[in-house]
């Protein structure tokens, strides 16, 4: 297996981003998002080089420093012209690939590709070339290159010419679309993407479902699929426990206790993201209160939902829909003493950890999700034998499904029933399920996940 120093990680968003202080100096900030938080501790402990895109002007300025040491990580930011980067990231990655893989397009109206898509796809190709160039310059002889996610499907194809000594493995953190969904992309782009993935020595996914769909897409398009492997990410239980032990979480826990006010607590923690299905979750809660009057004034739904990708109109509209649905439910059922849904839109990590520690029921109901780390973090943090209501369409359902209450995310009635069942479940069953969830959620760590990718580069695979 490759020595740790001979591994290069490549992702779009890196573990560090920069902001400019009043005096003009550059200040490093920890990168955000699940991919970065999962990878950072492992990469720091292995000494691997991490190559990422410069995503802002301060990042581009910092990129001029070359390879940097930030919080124990060796990071190389790649300076890509802002217009090119934005077209690739926002148009191709966020507005198309994300929508295709998560099944979010409403095909009656969208997508409708014109010449602007072709121009944005050329930018996407350009970003992939720039990232491949940077890796080609930095990677040690014979290194294993771990390419992350849908932003960078073409890197291996370009690296094959520049550095044939490197072995590239791709890992997709999102779901992978099926062949019907892939037809929502222009054919040339879809086939180029598959051929780019096909240039890796192996492609990894969080669950067999997404691996099978990738292979089905390749088969339909006549692309030779490389070997695939399944390596679900899991949280690091020790890291989580030490974060949860901080004074900030203790303070936030008191606030959660007073928010619940002795009532049962349903919690969700998500980015405001159409795939997370926040609005249907609220409507299912409304249905619970309609069908089961005994829960009125007896349960609070605390929704920790924080804004994301607000340059996309769909995300702004979804945020608006989510907040107006919160207001609608509260107007319908709220009393002088009880606010049924408390929505917190601040991206506040200690409060999210405190809420996960305190829930009676955790609602994770995405339309489709590569894995969903919250579904694993919740059971590891929770101290109440809380019940997990989990979408069948989250990759994590394949691991946690036996211990969670699994629901079809489009079925509001079934979701309301599952919430009722979770709230009425007897202590022995709650304890049994919570114990099982804890052990399933801890079965894979960031280290086992990282090692599986490195092993996939070996001739005999993982
Ligand atoms: C989530 C997904 C990742 C994805 C990331 C991109 O964390 O799970 O698969 O890479 O979003 O987020 P960004 O904010 O960089 O667009």
Best substitution site from 13, 89, 314, 377 to test ligand 1's pocket, by max atoms within 8 Å of Cβ?
13
Same domain, 229 and 241: no
Query: Do residues 29 and 58 touch, judged by C-beta distance below 8 A?
Result: no
Nearest CA to ligand 1 atom 14: 33
Does the pLDDT of residue 3 top 80, yes or no?
A: no
Instruction: Please give the helix or strand (H or E) that residue 364 lies within, else none.
Output: strand 361-364
Does the pLDDT of residue 116 top 60, yes or no?
A: yes
Same domain, 358 and 213: no
Best substitution site from 95, 173, 315 to test ligand 1's pocket, by max atoms within 8 Å of Cβ?
173
Pairwise CA distance, residues 264 & 298, whole Å:
6
Pairwise CA distance, residues 375 & 369, whole Å:
11
SS3 44: helix
Does the pLDDT of residue 310 top 70, yes or no?
A: yes
Q: What is the pLDDT of residue 84?
A: 98
- C-alpha 12 – ligand 1 centre gap (Å): 9
Residues sharing a CB contact under 8 Å with residue 213, sequence separation 6 or more, in sequence order: 175, 176, 177, 178, 179
Same domain, 78 and 101: yes
Nearest CA to ligand 1 atom 4: 35
Residues sharing a CB contact under 8 Å with residue 372, sequence separation 6 or more, in sequence order: 364, 366, 390, 391, 394, 395, 396
Pairwise CA distance, residues 17 & 219, whole Å:
39
Site of tokens 């990580």: 73
Cβ neighbours around 323 below 10 Å, total: 17
Classify residue 430 by its DSSP letter.
Answer: H
When pLDDT is averaged across residues 166-186 and rounded to a whole number, the result is: 98
Q: What is the pLDDT of residue 193?
A: 98
Same domain, 227 and 249: no
Same domain, 218 and 244: no
Task: Read off the pLDDT band of 32 (50, 70, 90).
Answer: confident
**Is residue 462 assigned to a domain?**
no
Pairwise CA distance, residues 15 & 64, whole Å:
17
32 CA: nearest ligand 1 atom: 14
**Is residue 242 assigned to a domain?**
yes
Nearest CA to ligand 1 atom 15: 13
- C-alpha 122 – ligand 1 centre gap (Å): 21
The model's pLDDT over 223-235, given as tens digits with 9 standing for 90+, comes to: 999 999 999 999 9
Sign of torsion over alpha carbons 415, 282, 396, 178 = positive
**Is residue 348 assigned to a domain?**
yes
Task: Read off the pLDDT band of 44 (50, 70, 90).
Answer: confident
Same domain, 29 and 174: yes
Pairwise CA distance, residues 60 & 395, whole Å:
35
Q: What is the pLDDT of residue 461?
A: 65
**Is residue 56 assigned to a domain?**
yes
Residues in the chain: 462
Out of 2-11, 135-144, 270-279, 316-325, least confident range: 2-11
Q: What tokens does 238 get?
A: 């020790």
Task: Read off the pLDDT band of 42 (50, 70, 90).
Answer: confident
Best substitution site from 9, 10, 14, 35 to test ligand 1's pocket, by max atoms within 8 Å of Cβ?
35
- Pocket residues: Cβ below 6 A from ligand 1: 12-13, 33-35, 149, 173-174, 370
Same domain, 221 and 241: no
Same domain, 15 and 63: yes
Q: What is the CATH number of the domain that holds 35?
A: 3.40.50.2000
Same domain, 175 and 79: yes
Classify residue 340 by its DSSP letter.
Answer: S
The model's pLDDT over 374-421, given as tens digits with 9 standing for 90+, comes to: 999 999 999 999 999 999 999 999 999 999 999 999 999 999 999 999
Q: Could you give the number of structural domains in the chain?
A: 2
- C-alpha 360 – ligand 1 centre gap (Å): 28
148 CA: nearest ligand 1 atom: 10
Nearest CA to ligand 1 atom 7: 34
Pairwise CA distance, residues 226 & 131, whole Å:
21
| Helical segments of 72-114, H only | 82-86, 98-102
Does the pLDDT of residue 1 top 90, yes or no?
A: no
**Is residue 393 assigned to a domain?**
yes
CA atoms within 13 A on the CB side of 246: 15
**What is the domain extent for residue 391?**
237-441
- C-alpha 88 – ligand 1 centre gap (Å): 14
Classify residue 137 by its DSSP letter.
Answer: H
**Is residue 206 assigned to a domain?**
yes
35 CA: nearest ligand 1 atom: 7
Pairwise CA distance, residues 291 & 417, whole Å:
9
Same domain, 74 and 205: yes
What radius of gyration, in Å, describes the C-alpha atoms of the chain? 22
Same domain, 280 and 215: no
Same domain, 151 and 181: yes
Task: Read off the pLDDT band of 38 (50, 70, 90).
Answer: confident
- C-alpha 438 – ligand 1 centre gap (Å): 25
The model's pLDDT over 297-308, given as tens digits with 9 standing for 90+, comes to: 999 999 999 999
Nearest CA to ligand 1 atom 6: 33
When pLDDT is averaged across residues 307-333 and rounded to a whole number, the result is: 97
Classify residue 274 by its DSSP letter.
Answer: G
Task: Read off the pLDDT band of 282 (50, 70, 90).
Answer: very high
369 CA: nearest ligand 1 atom: 8
């Amino acid at each position: 297996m490759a020595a740790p120093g001979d591994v290069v990680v490549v992702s779009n968003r890196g573990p560090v981003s920069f902001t400019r202080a009043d005096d003009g100096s550059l200040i490093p900030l920890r990168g955000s998002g699940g991919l970065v938080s999962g990878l950072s501790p492992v990469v720091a402990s292995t000494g691997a080089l991490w190559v990422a895109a410069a995503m802002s002007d301060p990042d581009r300025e910092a990129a001029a420093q070359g390879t940097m040491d930030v919080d124990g990580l060796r990071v190389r930011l790649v300076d890509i012209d802002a217009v090119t980067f934005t077209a690739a990231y926002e148009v191709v990655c966020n507005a198309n690939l994300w929508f295709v893989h998560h099944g979010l397009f409403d095909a009656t109206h969208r997508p409708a590709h014109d010449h602007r898509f072709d121009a944005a796809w050329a930018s996407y190709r350009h970003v992939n070339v720039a990232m491949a160039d940077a890796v080609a310059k930095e990677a040690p002889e014979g290194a294993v290159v771990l390419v992350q996610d849908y932003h960078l499907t073409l890197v291996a194809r370009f690296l094959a010419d520049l550095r044939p000594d490197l072995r590239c493995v791709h890992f997709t953190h999102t779901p992978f679309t099926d062949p019907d969904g892939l037809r929502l992309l222009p054919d040339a782009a879809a086939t180029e993407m598959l051929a780019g993935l096909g240039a890796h020595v192996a492609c990894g996914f969080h669950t067999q479902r997404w691996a099978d769909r990738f292979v089905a897409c390749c088969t339909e398009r006549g692309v030779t699929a490389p070997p695939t492997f399944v390596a679900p990410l899991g949280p690091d239980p020790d890291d989580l426990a030490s974060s949860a032990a901080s004074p900030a979480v203790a303070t936030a826990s008191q606030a959660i206790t007073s928010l619940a006010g002795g009532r049962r607590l349903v919690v969700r923690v998500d980015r405001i993201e159409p795939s997370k299905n926040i609005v249907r979750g609220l409507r299912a809660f409304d249905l619970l209160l309609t069908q089961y009057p005994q829960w009125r004034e007896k349960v609070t739904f605390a929704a920790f939902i924080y804004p994301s990708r607000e340059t996309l109109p769909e995300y702004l509209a979804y945020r608006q829909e989510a907040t107006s649905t919160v207001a609608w439910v509260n107007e319908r059922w709220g009393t002088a003493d009880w606010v049924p849904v408390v929505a917190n839109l601040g991206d506040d990590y200690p409060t999210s950890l405190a809420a996960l520690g305190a829930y009676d029921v955790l609602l994770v109901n995405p339309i489709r999700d590569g894995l969903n780390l919250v579904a694993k973090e919740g059971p590891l943090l929770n101290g109440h034998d809380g019940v997990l209501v989990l979408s069948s369409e989250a990759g994590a359902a394949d691991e946690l499904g036996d211990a969670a209450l699994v629901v079809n995310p489009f079925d509001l009635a079934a979701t309301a029933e599952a919430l009722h069942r979770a709230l009425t479940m007897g202590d022995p069953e709650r304890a049994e399920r919570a114990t099982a969830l804890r052990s399933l959620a801890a079965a894979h760590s960031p280290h086992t996940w990282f090692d599986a990718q490195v092993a996939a580069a070996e001739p005999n695979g993982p």
